[in-house]
Chain A
């Protein structure tokens, strides 16, 4: 009987572990907005933005985007997005790669909009950061010159 119980417990634990990935995230944009990440609508910044937010109209300003003017190595382009807005989501786009959306951040209650990340860029392109505050989209763009491709190598 004990052995039976033990086995049953093991199975239960295994099932719980399998369940984990699906319950991790409150909003997974890859599942809810797949078309913004992949497919025919993901190639340009405008299209991807429309897929994600329903509009590609943005107000320039209130968002700080730090990126290098010239990236010697396109495989590692440091990006820094910050803003004092109480935005709900932050997203990063670029137009150097086949698909333009890089990442979408959901800003939690205690989160500050101050994100650093490193991205890959196949060629010279423009990086755009968007902060969604209510129904308004605020954005900042910056051109990054890539001298050696990251996706090409």
Chain B
């Protein structure tokens, strides 16, 4: 159903910057009512490098459509895999991977 999450991760001087754009409609309750569908939005996002959590967020309906987030973390190097997972209100989940450049 959902399209791939777009991830860009870059390491510079020990700090990795990751930009993530998840593909999700993020229908808030108001918007869903207008469109006569059920509200559905990403409730939790998590990013890992080698099973170590580097980003964790509980989110609400007020993130923009196709939410974009950027975050930074230390202690990672080039070539490692960044795994990004989101879970939405209906329990759908999507995981995507990208190598840190």
Interface residues in chain A, defined as those with a beta carbon under 8 Å from any beta carbon in chain B: 20-21, 24-30, 37, 75-77, 94, 97-99, 101-106, 108-112, 114-122, 150-152
Contacts and interface: CB of A to CB of B under 8 A. Distances in A.
A106 B62 CA distance: 18
Contact of B62 (A28, A105, A110, A119): A119
B37 interface: no
Contacts of A77: 64
Given A30-B43, A114-B71, A151-B31, A108 B62 contact: no
Interface string B1-32: 00000000000000100000000001011110
Interface of chain A, main secondary structure? mixed
A61 B45 CA distance: 27
B46 A24 contact: yes
A117 B71 CA distance: 9
A23 to B, nearest CB: 11
Interface of B: 15, 26, 28-31, 43-44, 46, 52-65, 67-76, 85, 87, 91, 93
Contacts of A108: 52-56, 73
Contacts of A76: 64-65
A115 B70 contact: yes
B60 A110 contact: no
B87 A103 contact: no
A10 B66 CA distance: 33
Contact of B69 (A24, A115, A120): A115
A24 B15 CA distance: 24
